[in-house]
Amino acid sequence: MSSIALSVAAQFAIGETAAPVAFDWFSYEGKDEVFQTPPPEGQFQNPILAGFYPDPTSVRVGDDFYAVSSSFTFFPGLPIFHSADLVNWEQIGHILDRPSQLTGTEGLAASRAIFAPTLRHHDGVFYLITTSVDAINNFYVTATDPAGPWSDPILLPWIDGIDPSLFFDDDGRVWVTHNGPPPNRDSLYEGHRAVWLWEMDMETGQPIGDGKIIINGGVDLSQKPVWIEAPHIFKRGDWYYLTCAEGGTSIQHSQVIFRTKSLDEEWIPWDNNPILTQRDLPADRKHPIIAAGHADFLELPNDEWWATFLAIRTYGEEGFYNTGREIYMLPISWTEDGWPMILERGKEIPWQLDKPNLPATTKSVPPTTGNFTWKDDFDSPELGYEWMYLRTPKDDWLEISDGKLKIQPKAVSLNELVNPSFISRRQQHATFDAATRFEAPAAGASAGVASFIREDHYFYCGVRLTENGYEAFLEKAANGPAEVVSSVKLPKLKPGQSVTLNIVTDQAEVSYSVETPNGKTVVVATNEDATILTTTRAWGFIGAMMGPYARLEK
């Protein structure tokens, strides 16, 4: 469990306060069609981590595997998972779980701050290097235990770019690669970027000598490749390999490969690039997986190689997706002359495939993919790892006690670039049910569930006390200011009584209802447009997040 639960002892400089709102539980049940048939014995389900877990990085340490994803402005940041078989993944914490590690999120839109990380291990120490865009920029942290604690950030101001990665060479030298500006900062076209290489002194965090560009533009500059990024160096035999994402993290996304015999020599691209993409497949195929790329490579103890990478599940003709970029996994094959291939062009990423040749784990872990039911009864004194704050909290507005999640309402709306009194978990399915039970808030406050993907793209279904008694309402922001699109009276509800809020989402449609203490179900809204919670419409780099929210009404 997380160590970030905050007490509600403090009062806030927001002009007025209201009593904390107590939530009894929160439940979630996934119902996606593509997951209706579980994988047969000996196979696993893609994605391995469903929902907003983009930009994956992974590492093997002995018989253990670890994976981390980007997290942007959400706190705690950088979720870290462990697996013994590459199939069953258990979250063991967050790398940035102290406010001192994730500063500068206030004032940033939700899709800024922590971009793509790289996780590596060397001589008993774990290293995580990443970028906090528009905040402290590039840095790394270290730990001897991947579950933490991790160090405070060690800043790397000399890196100009994003997606940094570490490579520990056999001779003891350490190298950093990253996405950076093209030669002389002279972009020949939009999306023209480069891959840079630096030697680094790990004791001082400083570069040794000057950096240099090792890839200009991508595989073939004459073809105007865009957004070469997420570079990772690894070694196999006598060859150094550099694998990168190319094409941008959308429908043109791909993974490419280069190699060289010496880091002082030219990097040669493979003639058969890309080694992973879905951009050539028919757009109208059933259950499409798109935007595959941003891969990291894993070598197993038995000499098998596997890749973790991001991809996207879409629905509808317009390619909607609420679940963000997710983590997938495929085996890597090697040609006779030593080139890796993740998936040949023209082939679809399989939803189910044979497991890696590893001992099966006997430990039961919460599911991270497929259709599952999840419930938090708030019976632990600390928040579960599933929950995240929107931006690093500065106020003590949340506690868990007496089997309840208690939220002190703040006068902060979801369209503001500060930390609202909102705690959220990932939407991991396009079709799902969610529900929560909470006490009717006191006068001057509202409480309920928010579903959020951007400051101007969200739903908030809540309950509040008006001059005419309690009402349930639905507030909606769809690429503009929020407005109340529905409100219904709850005439017999009294302060301190509990209501249950139900949310039913079927891909592009979402409905809300409230169960009152007398057992009556009151419909708040039906068949609202859930595509406002898709990255397709909202843009950005995150997936939809949802959970309890309480607010002082201004």
Summarised one tens digit per residue, pLDDT across range 409-450 is: 999 999 999 999 999 999 999 999 999 999 999 999 999 999
Gap between the Cα atoms of 151 and 163, Å rounded: 20
CA atoms in the 13 A half-sphere facing the CB of 359: 8
Gap between the Cα atoms of 409 and 392, Å rounded: 16
By the 10 Å C-beta count (0-12 exposed, 13-18 middle, 19+ buried), 229 is classed as: buried
Our measurement of the distance from residue 457's CA atom to the centroid of its chain's CA atoms, rounded to an integer in Å, reads: 18
Q: Give the phi and the psi of residue 532 in degrees, each rounded to 5.
A: -65, -15
Note whether 141 and 117 are within 8 A (CB): no
Gap between the Cα atoms of 365 and 246, Å rounded: 34
pLDDT computed for residue 11 by the predictor:
30
User: SS3 of 550, please?
Assistant: strand
Gap between the Cα atoms of 64 and 353, Å rounded: 21
Gap between the Cα atoms of 74 and 152, Å rounded: 17
- Residue 166 pairs in a beta bridge with 176
Which residues lie below 8 Å from residue 184, measured CB to CB, with a gap of 6+?
none
Closest by Cα among 229, 217, 174 to 198: 174
Q: Residues for the chain: how many in total?
A: 554
> In the chain, count of helices (H) and strands (E)?
1, 40
DSSP state of 152: P
Gap between the Cα atoms of 41 and 27, Å rounded: 29
Note whether 327 and 346 are within 8 A (CB): no
Note whether 434 and 530 are within 8 A (CB): no
pLDDT computed for residue 502 by the predictor:
99
CATH number for region 373-552: 2.60.120.200
Kindly state the tokens that stand for 268. 């040669």
Active site (catalytic) residues: 55, 229
Which residues lie below 8 Å from residue 157, measured CB to CB, with a gap of 6+?
137, 138
Our measurement of the distance from residue 125's CA atom to the centroid of its chain's CA atoms, rounded to an integer in Å, reads: 24
Note whether 289 and 252 are within 8 A (CB): no
Q: What residue ranges in 335-391 does DSSP mark as E strands? A: 340-341, 352-354, 373-376, 388-390
The domain at 33-354 falls in which architecture? Answer: 5 Propeller (2.115)
Note whether 22 and 400 are within 8 A (CB): no
Note whether 270 and 292 are within 8 A (CB): no
By the 10 Å C-beta count (0-12 exposed, 13-18 middle, 19+ buried), 422 is classed as: buried
Gap between the Cα atoms of 551 and 554, Å rounded: 9
Q: Give the phi and the psi of residue 35 in degrees, each rounded to 5.
A: -100, 5
Gap between the Cα atoms of 501 and 523, Å rounded: 10
Note whether 428 and 322 are within 8 A (CB): no
pLDDT computed for residue 523 by the predictor:
98
State pTM to two decimals: 0.95
Gap between the Cα atoms of 197 and 201, Å rounded: 13
Cα-Cα-Cα-Cα torsion 475, 477, 482, 487, nearest 10 degrees, comes to: -20
CA atoms in the 13 A half-sphere facing the CB of 540: 30
Q: How far is CA 87 from CA 329, 333, 425, 542, in A?
A: 9, 19, 22, 24
Q: Which helix (H) or strand (E) holds 515?
A: strand 509-515
Instruction: Give one DSSP letter per residue of 213-248, joined into a string.
Output: EEEESSS-GGG-----EEEEEEEETTEEEEEEEES-
- Tens-level pLDDT at each residue, the chain (554 residues): 443 433 323 333 334 688 999 999 999 999 999 999 999 999 999 999 999 999 999 999 999 999 999 999 999 999 999 999 999 999 999 999 999 999 999 999 999 999 999 999 999 999 999 999 999 999 999 999 999 999 999 999 999 999 999 999 999 999 999 999 999 999 999 999 999 999 999 999 999 999 999 999 999 999 999 999 999 999 999 999 999 999 999 999 999 999 999 999 999 999 999 999 999 999 999 999 999 999 999 999 999 999 999 999 999 999 999 999 999 999 999 999 999 999 999 999 999 999 999 998 888 999 999 999 999 999 999 999 999 999 999 999 999 999 999 999 999 999 999 999 999 999 999 999 999 999 999 999 999 999 999 999 999 999 999 999 999 999 999 999 999 999 999 989 999 899 999 999 999 999 999 999 999 999 999 999 999 999 999 999 999 999 999 999 97
Kindly state the tokens that stand for 221. 């500059």
User: SS3 of 548, please?
Assistant: strand
Gap between the Cα atoms of 547 and 448, Å rounded: 8
Gap between the Cα atoms of 436 and 451, Å rounded: 13
Kindly state the tokens that stand for 506. 């079927």
Q: Where are the alpha helices (DSSP H) in 255-398?
A: none
pLDDT computed for residue 554 by the predictor:
77
DSSP state of 49: B
pLDDT computed for residue 16 by the predictor:
67
Gap between the Cα atoms of 51 and 93, Å rounded: 17
Instruction: Give the residue extent of every domain in the chain.
Output: 33-354, 373-552
Which residues lie below 8 Å from residue 265, measured CB to CB, with a gap of 6+?
none
Gap between the Cα atoms of 524 and 460, Å rounded: 11
| Maximum distance among all Cα pairs of the chain, rounded to whole angstroms | 77
Which tens digit of pLDDT belongs to each residue from 513-542? 999 999 999 999 999 999 999 999 999 999
Closest by Cα among 431, 411, 427, 290 to 349: 290
